[in-house]
Amino acid sequence: MREKDRNDYMKDVSEKNDNLTSWWRTGILIAYTFLIFFIIWVGYRIILLAGAYQAGDLSFIRAELVGYAIIGTIYFGIGGLLRFSRII
């Protein structure tokens, strides 16, 4: 009887691990897809900034840099709040 209980337990653990593994793979796939699109987006923004620099459109460059500074401030501000509240 004990051997049967142990086999049932191992079967349950195996099924849970298979489920966890499939979710882990799905998460990694989503993360890599996001990373690839992010790299493409950054490359596109660099091309836009280079074109604006060659055209002498300094107001566009300034607006982009201010936007990047705001995004960075928000990003690190949220990180600081999460760190301060001991979530991360």
Please write the tens of the pLDDT for every residue from 47-62.
999 999 999 999 999 9
| Contact predicate 76/88, CB 8 Å | no
Are 51 and 63 found together in one domain? no
Are 34 and 77 found together in one domain? no
Tokens matching residue 21: 């593994």
Tokens matching residue 17: 């691990």
**Which residues, other chains included, contact 49 with Cβ-Cβ below 8 Å and sequence gap of 6+?**
61, 64
Question: In terms of residue numbers, what domain contains 86?
Answer: 57-88
Q: Rounded to two decimals, what is the model's pTM?
A: 0.61
| pLDDT tens digits, one per residue of 62-76 | 999 999 999 999 999
Are 51 and 61 found together in one domain? no
Pick the closest to residue 60 from 72, 44, 48 (CA basis).
48
> How far is 22 from 14, CA to CA, in rounded Å?
12
